[in-house]
Structure 1
Amino acid sequence: MTTPTTPPPAAPANSSKGSFKKGLGWFVVILLALFAGSALMGRFFGNGEFDGREKIALVEVTGVIMDSGDIVRQLSQYRRDDEIKAIVLRVDSPGGGVAPSQEIYEEVLRIRAGNKKIYTSMGSMAASGGYYIACPTDRIFANPGTLTGSIGVIMAFSNASELIGKIGIKPEVIKSGKYKDIGSPTRAMTKAERKHMQKVSDDVHDQFITAVSEGRGLAMKAARKLSDGRVFTGRQAMNYKLVDDLGGLEETIQQLAQAIGIQGRPRIVVEKPESSLLEMLMGARMTESLETSLWPTQLPRLLYLWLP
């Protein structure tokens, strides 16, 4: 007589679920390890941080120059970094405020004083303040069709006195000093005020001409002759000795690497700016267009700016 066998007890449902979760966890861990290993190998043997190639920093100046803080910070950081062998200043700008342009210019001079080479690569436009920050660099490269030059100063005021009169508003101003409200939109500028502001503009213009003369090794007379606000193509600017060579960003990098003795292609270090929500929604170029289109409505300021 055979004794009936008792079937083995069924595995608890929770046990099978636990095994699945455990297996899934190990799969994720292995996947992450493979990804990290791949990234690390890429850094050692590819384009990454530890690939052994010498570094050249790329600092990008795009759009209207109204704040120098971030550009000066990058240039100063790379000036102090011994691992950065040289710097490329990539300019695609119509210029902007006088003071921000001068602050960037001064930082470029500090880089050159520290015996670290800095070349400029001009994009589609490097005019007015965009040219101002380029002129003290060791070498300037422009594309044949780059718009550059526009060596001049502009300061715009709005006179809305007729409109104010039509809508029945009568402004009253209390001031100490007869020039305190120069440029007020509520009245026309007097001859004495216009003469004074012209002197201010001329002085800032002379500062620009001096920067061009010293940066490009031109006589003041020659620099002044080119400083009437005209724009030039890259090819024309080269004929006038405002730029040194024709070529794009890649040519600039290759020539700079060769000048400092780097064999092969250097590693390019570039800091990507964080995009604001407005830039992500509308696109960076559109926000730049908005900024430039609104500049006449802002408070009057001295500008190294080409904006037809």
Structure 2
Amino acid sequence: MNPGDNFQNFEGQNEEEPVEFFNYNSDTSNFSYKYQEQSQEKNIHEPDSKFNKEETIKRKGRKRQYLTIFFLLITIIAASFAAIVYTFDGDLYSTNDKVAVIHVQGTMITGSIPGGIGYSTSEDVASSIRKASDRSDVKAIVMRVNSPGGSPSAAEEISREIERAKDKGIPVVVSMGDVAASAAYYVSAPADVIMANPSTMTGSIGVIWTFQNRSEFYDEEGIEHEVIKSGELKDMGAPWRGLTEEERNYANKIVQEIYKNFVDHVAENRDLNRSFVNEISDGRIYTGMRAKELGLVDKFGNLYESINLAAELGDIRGEPDVIYLNKPSISRLLFSSKTDSGIANTSLTDFAEYYENNPYGKIEAK
């Protein structure tokens, strides 16, 4: 066999490799060695090339992801900023007379957190009312109420600001949503006009004070409490025991005192006979239809009809400009670190924990 035959056979076995790729040598073993060396070199570099291509594709993919996230964040920030400007200063380029809409949405408590997340705080609402009533271009206020009630103190603080606005000659219209009951009705009572829907749940004039008795739990867990107190009633409502008869009687006196104030407030502001208000104030809920029959509601209408009525009462001619001073929104929740009054917000978690686990029990106008 001559070397040429060997080369042809080898070439036939490796048809994918071009002949000119090799340096022919009549020494077969030398040729084979060179071929193997070249094959190894090829096998080594081929995966590297593939790996580099995959890495390039991955890098481009990551770059696209980063750019997408970046532009998405820019869009969110821009939209939030626009929402803030619209929410707080929707009248930025307007000099017309305005109707201010202020929301009471969620359970009412004292304190300061952004509205629209389950709680409506007296600082937030009261400061919004004051801000509106102190503006020369605000001629009327609409209170958009959608609340099941809450703290009597919070209701009193908000109610006083409504009365202050009225004393300055600014008409106030209440627009009830799904529910405006208990303390939320207390807030509504001083308004010049109360508007509701026929199916609105309102009324529920009354007071409730609840205490937690976890004594069985502590007994099961083997937890004992040693209490040193200055007076018999100092640990009244403590969760490690129930109320004594004396404490129960005392709590009832407080409830009746707050209830009397509630009834007087409704009778005075709604121009109703006190005995009649006392009769209908057993804590029951009324529909908007029934509440209108009882004199607790004046008219039926939605928010926009309430705005038009407020504009009319405020002697605003033509279509009024509307500003929303504390409209519930994601932007307020994300970017509001202080209320309009300058009071720092407390975390929602702290509020919820204190409100639900108040060591003095939970007293509500209901």
- With the shorter chain as reference, the TM-score category is 0.7 to 0.9
- Find the aligned partners of 2:244 and 2:148 in 1 and give their Cα distance: 31
Q: Does 1:56 align with 2:88?
A: no
- Find the aligned partners of 1:278 and 1:182 in 2 and give their Cα distance: 40
1:209-248 alignment runs, 5 A limit: 209-248=263-302
- Find the aligned partners of 2:91 and 2:332 in 1 and give their Cα distance: 23
- Residue 109 of structure 1 aligns to a residue whose secondary structure is helix
Rg: which structure is higher?
2
- Residue 123 of structure 1 aligns to a residue whose secondary structure is strand
Q: Per-residue CA shift, 1:114-147, capped at 9, x if unaligned? A: 1110110001111111111000010000011111
Native 8 Å contact 2:198 2:288 kept in 1: yes
CA RMSD of aligned residues (A): 2.6
- Residue 65 of structure 1 aligns to a residue whose secondary structure is strand
Q: How far off is 1:245 after superposition? A: 0.4
Residue 158 of structure 2: aligned partner: 104
Residue 87 of structure 2: aligned partner: none
TM-score, normalised on structure 1? 0.76
Query: Residue 278 and residue 195 in structure 1: after superposition, are their counterparts in 2 closer, same or farther (change >3 A)?
Result: farther
- Find the aligned partners of 1:171 and 1:150 in 2 and give their Cα distance: 38
1:258-269 alignment runs, 5 A limit: 258-269=312-323
Q: Does 1:193 align with 2:244?
A: no
- Find the aligned partners of 1:119 and 1:52 in 2 and give their Cα distance: 22
In proportion to residue count, which structure has more helix?
A: 2
Q: How far off is 1:169 after superposition? A: 1.9
Residue 332 of structure 2: aligned partner: 275
Native 8 Å contact 1:142 1:246 kept in 2: yes
- Find the aligned partners of 2:95 and 2:226 in 1 and give their Cα distance: 69
Residue 11 of structure 1: aligned partner: none
Q: How far off is 1:49 after superposition? A: 4.3
- Residue 130 of structure 1 aligns to a residue whose secondary structure is helix
Residue 301 of structure 1: aligned partner: 362
Can you give the 5+ residue segments of structure 1 that lack an aligned partner in the other structure? Answer: 1-46, 280-286
Q: How far off is 1:258 after superposition? A: 2.0
Query: Residue 189 and residue 52 in structure 1: after superposition, are their counterparts in 2 closer, same or farther (change >3 A)?
Result: closer
Native 8 Å contact 2:95 2:137 kept in 1: no
- Find the aligned partners of 1:183 and 1:163 in 2 and give their Cα distance: 16
Residue 16 of structure 1: aligned partner: none
- Find the aligned partners of 1:241 and 1:157 in 2 and give their Cα distance: 34
Letter aligned with residue 239 of structure 2: P
Q: How far off is 1:170 after superposition? A: 2.0
Can you give the 5+ residue segments of structure 2 that lack an aligned partner in the other structure? Answer: 1-89, 111-121, 337-346
Query: Residue 79 and residue 92 in structure 1: after superposition, are their counterparts in 2 closer, same or farther (change >3 A)?
Result: same
Residue 10 of structure 2: aligned partner: none
Aligned length: 252
1:164-175 alignment runs, 5 A limit: 164-175=218-229
Native 8 Å contact 2:96 2:137 kept in 1: no
Which segment is superposed worse, 164-173 or 268-277? 268-277
TM-score, normalised on structure 2? 0.64
Letter aligned with residue 276 of structure 1: L
Native 8 Å contact 1:64 1:292 kept in 2: no
Native 8 Å contact 2:355 2:362 kept in 1: no
- Find the aligned partners of 2:166 and 2:99 in 1 and give their Cα distance: 15
